[in-house]
Amino acid sequence: MPKSQAARPRNAFYAQSGGVTAVINASAAGVIETARANKDRIRKVYAGRNGILGALNEELIDTSKETAATIAALRHTPGGAFGSCRYKLRAIEDSRAEYERLIEVFRAHDIGYFFYNGGGDSQDTAWKVSQISERMGYPVTCIGVPKTVDNDLPLTDCSPGFGSVAKYVAVSTREAGLDVASMCSTSTKVFILEVMGRHAGWIAAAGGLAAEKPGDPPHVILFPEIAFDRETFLARVQETVERHGYCVVVASEGTQDAAGQFLAEAGSRDAFGHAQLGGVAPALAAMVKDALGYKYHWALADYLQRAARHVASKTDVEQAYAVGKAAVEFALAGRNAVMPIIVRGKGKRYTWKIDAAPLSKVANVERKMPRNYITRDGFGITAAARAYLLPLIQGEAETPWRHGLPVIARLKQVMVPKKLPAFTPA
């Protein structure tokens, strides 16, 4: 990059990608507030309307039109304030036109920085954009900002978004467990909470934090990593009901049998014969009813778990903000094609700091839950898992309330005037 170009302030492009979380907007606040504190280097932050689609469609939200108070309020607003999308840029050779369009839009709006807030796929895209922008003679500083409730990004100790869903699931399991325990003598004996995590059991594992002492719920956790076996499961449920009077199950939506068949798909069908989405809980409930005759109830938290900012982990909110802030700082320090990561301190007391990982090493690597986080019988979490998970749910993030409801950011969403003709993908 010529020195003169590095010196003059350029605009930045920020986009949210994939499934949103309770804290992705805290990362947005980190990016925008840090950019505002460096106006000599970053003129304006444009946010993509509906994520990367905003760049392709030249739909850029001018965040400079939002007040400082609105940007600060992003810190406690769940969902993706600028819109997110499920849209994956393919390999460069397969969708060269899209990459070229991105660069064209960046060039038209003098965008020198690209902050991409998402999971593994998004880090891959950010990496590709950094490469192609060089090749096209319009180098853009590309920094990934980690986000995913699935906690499956590599290199970072945890992914922002996960700690809050983990806290939601642990709190809900504890609370519902007390409810079920109260009534089990004459009513529901088996309660099943279905949680997210199609490929990894991180979220289900967090349910295990609800237990303080042996016998506390949850009594059974079902992980995608452990092949589901009907007979073993039913035997465990029966044994638990006989010992404690009730049984609380936390089941990952990705629970599957040895053949890799998802229970959700093997389970219930609706009146039209469609396989029910999120059907692990009803499938398990039917199994319990059928084989053991116990009265059951089940809950499916679905989006509630990843949107529950009111019970977010303070640690998670702080980390989400910190990765947004660090992304801008890395960019200003001249770093490129990196992603801020969270590094856990080695001491007994939980500490963390931010470091950087090259996007090339992050992209398309999925981090699995270690087998030693799951008890030998496959139904619980180990002390190692607990030691890893517990710090991530610590602290209750500040939530402002008005009229009994959480206050949320209301953005003006002023659009940047378009400069280019509309883009028609091939």
For 194-294, where are the alpha helices, taking DSSP H only?
202-207, 230-244, 263-266, 280-292
Pairwise CA distance, residues 368 & 183, whole Å:
37
CB-CB contact of 14 with 45 (8 Å): yes
Asked if residues 250 and 193 have their Cβ atoms less than 8 Å apart, the reply is yes
Hunting for tokens 């398309």 — which residue is that? 364
Q: Is the dihedral of CA 260, 265, 268, 269 positive or negative?
A: negative
Between 59 and 329, name the residue whose CB sits nearer to a copy of itself: 59
DSSP helix/strand/coil, 421: coil
Q: Active-site residue 150, yes or no?
A: yes
Nearer to a copy of itself (CB atom), residue 70 or residue 313: 313
Cβ-based nearer residue to a copy of itself, 10 or 219: 219
* Contact present, 31 and 64 (Cβ < 8 Å): no
Instruction: Report the nearest approach of a copy of itself to the CB of residue 397 (Å).
Output: 11
- Token pair listed for 140: 């853009």
Q: Which is nearer to a copy of itself, 17 or 240 (CB)?
A: 17
| Residue 296: CB minimum distance to a copy of itself, A | 8
CA gap 159, 153 in Å, rounded: 6
Instruction: Give the integer Cα–Cα distance in Å for 240 and 236.
Output: 6
- Smallest distance from a copy of itself to CB 209, Å: 7
Q: Which of 124, 150, 157, 316 is catalytic?
A: 150
Contact 394, 314 (CB under 8 A): yes
Q: How far is the CB of 166 from a copy of itself (least distance, A)?
A: 9
Q: Compute the radius of gyration of the chain from its Cα atoms.
A: 23
For the CB of residue 185, give the shortest distance to a copy of itself in the complex, in Å: 4
What is the closest distance, in whole angstroms, from the C-beta atom of residue 281 to a copy of itself in the complex?
8
User: CA nearest 9: which of 31, 41, 35?
Assistant: 41
What is the spatial distance between Cα 126 and Cα 120, in angstroms, rounded to a whole number?
10
Backbone dihedral angles phi then psi of residue 344, each to the nearest 5 degrees: -85, 135
Q: Which residues are catalytic?
A: 150
